[in-house]
Amino acid sequence: MKIAVTYDNGNVFQHFGRTEFFKVYNVEDNKVVSSEVIGSNGTGHGALAGLLADQDVDVLICGGIGGGAQAALAEAGVELIAGAQGDTDQAVEAYLKGELVSTGANCDHHHEEGHDCGHHEDGHSCGGHGEGHTCGEGCGSSCGANPALTGRNVGKTCRTHYRGTFNDGTQFDSSYDRGEPLEFVCGAGQMIRGFDAAVADMEVGQVVDVHLMPEEAYGMPDPNAVFSVEITQLPGSEELKEGQQVYLTNQYGQPFPVKVTAKDEKMITFDANHEMAGKELNFRIELVEVK
């Protein structure tokens, strides 16, 4: 049996339709015998459900999920266990013990009442391209799963300096400017796919230049990630302005970044796509240390 869990740095990712990674567990005699993290590389419910079916996944464990995704999974023959939170390994163990109960469809593109507009910010930077960033929705159902990364550094803690630029040469981020290398576990899903892949087989002291297409970075914009809410149902939204970047919270209290794209007297529209979605990125990466 195979069990897949929406994955974000060791925890159950809370938005099935926006998950960038799945952790897939191979189970024999009700015990986990192996596991690997794969890229979702898909846009929309059908593509993700198809990916799981192609991987021969029998069970999906996730957090929030809508009715459309639930129907797509049922059509693909994948059992759904929704409403899980916390550590992915513990969630799988709870399922195998019969202690994990599904809540069913519990999300509808963030339209539910009870969402609060919290932690307003004037903007949010790209930072380290790691934990806390939504790396896009992938390239569509035709791509299939990302193969597992291989290389001398996979599974090891790496420290890298890097400089990121757009194709016109404009710099959008640099660890050199902050004076501190970026630390992450290579291949653990903490980084965008192309950055991880570049570091996977580097030697300490080596410097490489990589050009990443959107599919290797933050994916292409997902039209399903644009949604409108009545201002009266979102406390604090009456103060927001078009173009402002803020954080909303879902029904689990998990924050996610959005940008205000439109607003009138009654409705406000948000775009939850990553600000880097659809962009080609260039990185100069220097591997400083491997632990």
Q: Distance between CA atoms of 165 and 149, rounded to whole angstroms? A: 24
DSSP, collapsed to helix, strand or coil, labels residue 208 as: strand
Using CB atoms within 10 A of its CB, is residue 87 exposed (0-12), middle (13-18) or buried (19+)?
middle
Helix or strand or coil: residue 68? Answer: helix
How far separated are the first and last CA of the chain, in Å rounded?
34
User: Residue 182 in 3-state DSSP?
Assistant: strand
Between CA 116 and CA 235 the distance in angstroms is 6
Let me know: does 288 contact 204? Beta carbons within 8 Å: yes
Q: How many CB atoms lie within 10 A of CB 179?
A: 7
Alpha-carbon separation of residue 111 from 67, 149, 265, 272 (angstroms)? 13, 36, 18, 12
Mind telling me the catalytic residues? 162, 172-173, 192, 218, 227
* Nearest CA among 117, 87, 148, 142 for reference residue 230: 117
CA distance 148 to 145: 9
Place of tokens 């193969």: 147
d(C-alpha 199, C-alpha 153), whole Å? 7
Task: Look at residue 233 and give its three-state secondary structure.
Answer: helix
